[in-house]
Chains A and B, each alone.
Chain A
Amino acid sequence: MALSKVKGTLERVLDKNLQDLVRGIRNHKENETKYVAECLDEIKNELRQENVAVKAIAVNKLTYLQMLGYDISWAAFNVIEVMSSPKFTFKRIGYLSASQSFHEGTDVLMLTTNMIRKDLGSQNLYDAGVALNGLSCFITADLARDLANDIMTLMTSTKPYLRKKAVLIMYKVFLQFPEALRPAFPRLKEKLEDPDPGVQSAAVNVICELARKNPRNYLALAPLFFKLMTSSTNNWVLIKIIKLFGALTPLEPRLGKKLIEPLTNLIHSTSAMSLLYECINTVIAVLISVSTGIPNHTASIQLCVQKLRILIEDSDQNLKYLGLLAMSKILQTHPKSVQTHKDLILQCLDDKDESIRFRALDLLYGMVSKKNLMEIVKKLMVHMDKAEGTNYRDELLAKIIEICSQSNYQYVTNFEWYVSVLVELTRMEGTRHGRLIAAQMLDVAIRVQAIRPFAVAQMAVLLENAHVLSNNSQRNGICEVLYAAAWLCGEFPDHLTDPKGVLEAMLKPKITLLPGHIQSVYVQNIIKLYANIIKRAEGQNGLAGVREVGEMLQEKLPIFIQSADLEVQERACCMVQLVKYVLKSQDKDGDTAAAIAEELAALFAGDLNPVAPKAQKKVPVPEGLDLDAWINDPPSESSEDEDRPVGSSIFVTKDNNEGSFYHEAAKAKVPDMTPEERTKAKEQRRVDQAHNPNYLKGDVKKSASNTSADGNLGNSVVELDLSIPLRVPGLSSSDQYMKMEQSLRTKKAGKKKRKKRKKGGNDESDEEEDIPQIHQVSTVEEVPEGAEAMSDKEEDGGDERYKKLDIDLDEPLRPGEILPVRTHRIVPDHKLPEPEEEPKEKKKHKKKEKESKKDKKKSRDSRKEEREKRKRKKQSIPGEADEPSLLKEDHEEIAGDNTPLSSPRDKDMPSGGATATNSTDKMNDYEFWMSSTDAQSPSHSEPQGKPTTEVKVTPVQDITSGDEAKVDTTAHSKKKKKEKKERREKKEKKSKKSKLKAGDYEEAGGITTPSQEVVDPSQLETPVTAKPMSSYRLLAENASIKMMYETRVSPQRGDQLILSVVFTNLTPHLVNNLEFNVMDTLNTKLSRGMGQASHDAVQVPFVLPAGLSNEGQFAFSVDSLVQPTKLRGTLTYMVKMAEGSTHEKVDFRLTFNCSSFMSALPCKSSEFASLLSSGDLTEKSTMKCTPLENSFDVSLLRICFYNHFKVVEKVEGSASLYGRSIQGHHLCLLVKYNNGEITVDGKSAEGALLSNVLADIKTVLTSDVL
């Protein structure tokens, strides 16, 4: 006893501090665990001491041990003891340990509330600092609720050090206690303008984090951040703000327009690379979100791309990497600008840094075109040969396939080339992508019918050289391609030149070393081949050879019977019997022999189509079928368990492996099946599936997972000497196709040059040279009857924690909304009034809260406020956003609110109704700030000058995305659309009847379609008879569908053109799934729905019953309109016939000539004169032609109708016409008629536009067909 006491004392003398512990651990490298265990015992002893200093040292040591991976949660209480020490030194040790080891689950944390509160209020600056620091790591919901008020007080501390920390920790408080956000927000906002840069930076930091998760709530802060951005010199803060703007711009296009200029300035002026990079990133985000309407749009892209090039060329790998990263963002919307830097990106493939190579690969994916695909793939393959490390090579291989197969092989022009590439890829050693290559081979050969002969020939060569491929029998290895090869040769044997040879190759004994699922396919296809050989022989009446083949089969097939793989065994047994039977019947007389050939062939008759990837999901549930209902009453659980024999469990688990939902379902819902029956049924189904080629893919997976054991078998094989040349004779090389293609192209290029010279460079050549696809890819995909054309939306699995912070911050504070103050809580879990209770409290709204005063001042009219409150409330609940009831609200309210920012429905709001009366409203300040950009920006002059028209932010997309379509179904817009349609139909009828009457139409409120205006011929003094005029022109037509189109513009929107397309179904079937897509150019882009990439097609939201037409509208955003634009596009659709549906497509070319952008606006002759004399219209141009119509009036009418002009004045033989482009260019024309010849003199400020319009007029007057 005494001895142990002495011993304890001695040890205490030798008490270790942290340094001793570290040293000790370093000296006991060989038995660290044992040493640490000893130390832990000592520490436990020390913690039992009264002396805080000893405890502190012990805790400090524990913190160190925690870093090494030892659990120290058992010491939590001691840590708190040390934290509560009045001495800073110990306190700091305690808090450090707590911050490292405490978490939400630490139960002793609830003991700390008062201690932390005391520390926060401590006189000592650093006590509070240390407490805040620790708290930031282990704050819980309870702590956040109880301490929020204390932290709020610290936010106004006189010491910047504490303010800074208090501001920063508020973010953590909000995360744990979202109710604190609204009361604390005004103060947080104040801190954005704190005199201390550290505090300011912290506030920016917190708001940026908040806004990143719920950006919409922070849009109102944009002006403030804008001010900070232009005034701050702290790069760290600038970066944060600029990043924040990058998150905000997608929600508010006007913000983007405002940002471009200061950001561009920063890009030019800053020397900080980090800032430069973030600026570029945000400019890109702006350019992506607002594709048009920005002054110098193209220039901005160019600037970004240029700067990024500099980054990529930099020797600093970090800049290179980031440059590539940003480049890939530009690529999504402006592929052309990136494509010019192809050389640079290909160079990056050589980089020693793997991250950079991967980035470059990603970029290449988006850069390919028909023109450069072969070249890029060739380069990648060269790289693959050189590359070290199978990982990177595998990545390259996968990328090659990904690049080639993207969007239905869009860029592959020559499939022979592609098949050769695939075959060449099989020569890569040690790849894990054998299955991928196999899948591609199958896919290409099945879908590109024309390539089958070639593909099958190549596959035959592969089969004959199977030994080269089969030595690598690892899972998913290259031997997988034999699966594809065997199947293709068996499925399309007609294309084989020497089926017998192939058959022999397939019967080589080495085949048995392949994985089971490949052998199964071999067995199956051997018989298919056999059937084919018999059929062929029958044609030539040479049955002798056939007999030989049969005997060979009979001799060699049994090797498969010995296979360890069940499936192979089973199939082989069947096949051997089949062959025996055939041989037997061949022995008989000729008739039966002939019959047997036919019967055999019939076994494998029938074509197959690929099944659409989501076909299974799309099978509609038949009416009256309740999938959840029990077919029979469920038996009690226990009995079910009992009657499942142990033996059958093998099958049950096996089936589970298949991952099929239906198997699971069947198991659960058909409980009355005995296990035997079940197994039988499943076996039956498996056999069915094996014989059904549509199940191929599923089969691969299943059998691979079941037969992984076979992989081991393969390892025992003597490895083939790799020095044997892997090049297989008879295989074609992809290079030859490339050369062929190149020579073809040079020929073409010569032609093109000549053509260009003729055109005088007038045509903007952002249109890609059309390279014809040699082979057609069949896009036929089987989709179940009645499948719905639904777009599969992915569920947004956002963090629940952040969703709680989606709180409207503009709404004034309610009386109950204060941070909890320390009181005796009667109810332990007292909660603040939930937001749902808000409306009830609205009327009690009194001045109680300091923070809410400011907001309140601004809303004097309580009635209005209430109304707005209601509205905002609605907005803050995203689910309600679609409610049509909002549409019934009067316009004033909408104009005064921020609704238009967020919802597409505002397109239905007539813009004229908005006034500036409620500009005192807070939101309107923001609105005003936003809209002021456009008033200031010189190139975006709004002729009608109403800032409120800017409220129309979201592009008019009558029919674009699913969302939009939904909006259209609201009563309001439906009616409007109907009206429009009626009007249009009337108009068409009229023009056909050539009864052009005046005053038939009232101008529609918001949208002015040129066709409507022009039809109004009231200005023509004499009623004239003219040929029927319709501005609908043919877009494309094929056997099943016809498209007519017309363009419309709205003078209010200088950057948008509406394309109205009438789709007519020419088939006697239903046409659905119409998808309209246009290849964007730099200048003109199809407006797609939010979140859709630039290549995505726009779904046409209707189906076309047989023989009917319907009209769809597509909005295009247009940047510059002085040049005509040519676009190419595709319409894909499904024709549903009784026997199935086919997927078809039709390509079209779309031309927006300059006249499309004109709108005929009335102009008084006085205005016209002053316009001419103002001297602004500096450009002149003249055009002469002989019109087809020998009447001046008719010609005039044609100009007005097709080119969208309005007659200002007309005297005999001459007339002055006025028109204005949607971007505000005035065009004045003087049209003279003399002896059947028309002279048009035009004046405008924009020469190119004028000459293009005159050229259009000439076409209109001289050509008959439009």
Chain B
Amino acid sequence: MIKAILVFNNHGKPRLSRFYQYYPEDMQQQIVRETFHLVSKRDDNVCNFLEGGTLIGGSDFKIIYRHYATLYFVFCVDSSESELGILDLIQVFVETLDKCFENVCELDLIFHVDKVHYILAELVMGGMVLETNMTEIITRIEEQNKLEKSEKAKLDGTPVLIQTYETLDLSILNELREKIAKM
């Protein structure tokens, strides 16, 4: 099981946090901080596994991370996951991001954290690995994006009236409508 997936930058600023077990917000922040503290002091040429991290897990849990440019991708997993397998999964995740954002960089993650979540949701669900095949993942994401676009078109098409009136107070408009409806 994967207990948490964290992405933060070289300064420890969270870019994505996905906990598969409930922690209150302050605890989540503390975990992110602690993990950053553990991970950031390690050189790039040392191994990508870390034991410990007192807040999350315990002895059965490992921190497996990869460092890409300005970002750390950290998975906190228990012993049922293969260490090297998870490293490959991180790679798949990052490559998928790269495909979806076309040359992903930290800014993409900063401004589109929701999209990153949707992509991650196609890889991991409820702490269990859902899909590892990148083409399948990308197909699914693209299909969902298409769906979203088509909905947006509808949204943009119909409320033209409302949009033009948006410069005015909408509540007045609503009142007018209600009055019209009553009449």
Contact = CB atoms under 8 A, between A and B. Distances in A.
Interface of A: 5-6, 8-9, 12-13, 18-19, 22-23, 26, 50, 53, 60, 63-64, 66-71, 87-89, 92-93, 96, 100, 103-105, 124, 126, 132-133, 136-137, 139, 161, 164-165, 168-169, 171-172, 197-198, 201-202, 205-206, 208-209, 212, 235-236, 239-240, 243, 273-274, 277-278, 317-318, 320-322, 352-356
A355 B46 contact: yes
Contacts of B14: 67-68
A133 B123 CA distance: 11
B40 interface: no
B46 A354 contact: yes
Contacts of B28: 69
Of the listed residues B18, B29, B121, B131, the one surrounded by the most CB atoms of chain A closer than 10 A to its CB is: B121
Given A9-B169, A89-B148, A205-B128, A321 B114 contact: no
B47 A353 contact: yes
B98 interface: no
Contacts of B170: 9, 12
Contacts of A161: 140
Contact of A168 (B20, B24, B85, B130): B130
Of the listed residues A133, A235, A240, A278, the one surrounded by the most CB atoms of chain B closer than 10 A to its CB is: A133
B125 A318 contact: no
B1 interface: yes
A52 to B, nearest CB: 10
B22 to A, nearest CB: 4
Of the listed residues B51, B80, B110, B166, the one surrounded by the most CB atoms of chain A closer than 10 A to its CB is: B80
A53 B147 contact: no
Interface in B117-171: 117-118, 121, 125-133, 136, 140, 143-144, 147-148, 151-152, 155, 166-171
Given A88-B144, A278-B82, A172 B126 contact: yes
A317 B45 contact: yes
Interface of B: 1, 14, 16-18, 20, 22, 24-26, 28-29, 43, 45-51, 80, 82-85, 87-88, 110-114, 117-118, 121, 125-133, 136, 140, 143-144, 147-148, 151-152, 155, 166-171, 174
Given A352-B43, A353-B46, A353-B47, A88 B147 contact: yes
A164 B130 CA distance: 7
Contacts of A205: 128-129
A352 B45 contact: yes
A50 B175 CA distance: 13
Contacts of A168: 125-126, 128, 130
B80 A96 contact: no
A103 B22 contact: yes
24 contacts: A9-B169, A12-B170, A19-B112, A63-B114, A64-B113, A67-B113, A68-B14, A87-B155, A88-B148, A88-B151, A89-B152, A124-B147, A133-B125, A168-B126, A168-B130, A197-B133, A198-B136, A201-B131, A235-B85, A240-B82, A273-B84, A321-B47, A353-B46, A354-B46
A274 B25 contact: no
Contacts of A352: 43, 45-46
B171 to A, nearest CB: 7
Nearest to A6: B169
Nearest to A278: B82
A1101 B131 CA distance: 54
Contacts of B48: 317-318
A132 B16 CA distance: 21
A8 B148 CA distance: 29
Of the listed residues B17, B130, B131, B169, the one surrounded by the most CB atoms of chain A closer than 10 A to its CB is: B130
Contacts of A198: 130-131, 133, 136
Contact of A5 (B17, B82, B85, B171): B171
A23 B82 CA distance: 38
A274 B130 contact: no
A239 B85 contact: yes
A447 B12 CA distance: 52
Given A50-B174, A70-B25, A352-B46, 20 more contacts: A12-B166, A12-B170, A22-B111, A60-B114, A67-B14, A88-B144, A126-B143, A137-B126, A171-B128, A202-B128, A243-B82, A274-B83, A274-B84, A274-B88, A317-B45, A317-B46, A317-B48, A322-B49, A355-B46, A356-B47
Contacts of A105: 22
A202 B136 CA distance: 15
Contacts of B45: 317, 352-353
B147 A126 contact: yes
A22 B170 CA distance: 27
Contacts of A124: 147
A164 B121 CA distance: 13
Contacts of B152: 89
B159 to A, nearest CB: 9
A18 B114 contact: yes
B73 to A, nearest CB: 15
Q: Which 4 A-B pairs have the closest CB atoms?
A: A136-B126, A274-B84, A103-B22, A353-B46
Given A206-B128, A317-B46, A66 B25 contact: yes
A844 to B, nearest CB: 37
Given A9-B169, A133-B121, A322 B84 contact: yes
B118 A8 contact: no
Contacts of B51: 355
Contacts of A60: 114
Contact of A277 (B29, B84, B168): B84
A5 B147 CA distance: 36
A318 B87 contact: yes
Contacts of A96: 114, 117-118, 121
Contacts of A137: 20, 126
A327 B168 CA distance: 73
A201 B84 CA distance: 17
Contacts of A70: 25
Contacts of A8: 169
Contacts of A239: 82, 85
B7 to A, nearest CB: 10
B25 A318 contact: no
A19 B110 CA distance: 9
A278 B84 CA distance: 9
B80 A92 contact: no
Contacts of A132: 125
Contact of B129 (A9, A100, A236): A236
Contacts of B16: 67
A275 to B, nearest CB: 8
A71 B26 CA distance: 8
B46 A93 contact: no
Contacts of A212: 80
Contacts of B26: 69
A18 B112 CA distance: 8
A278 B129 CA distance: 17
A13 B167 contact: yes
A132 B121 CA distance: 10
Contacts of A5: 169, 171
Contacts of B29: 69
Nearest to B24: A71
A318 B83 CA distance: 9
A274 B126 contact: no
Nearest to B43: A352
Nearest to B41: A354
B47 A320 contact: yes
Given A5-B169, A12-B170, A137-B126, A71 B136 contact: no
B112 to A, nearest CB: 8
Contacts of A322: 49, 83-84
A209 B128 contact: yes
Nearest to A212: B80
A9 B167 contact: yes
A19 B111 contact: yes
A274 B125 contact: no
A277 B82 contact: yes
A529 B84 CA distance: 63
A13 B166 contact: yes
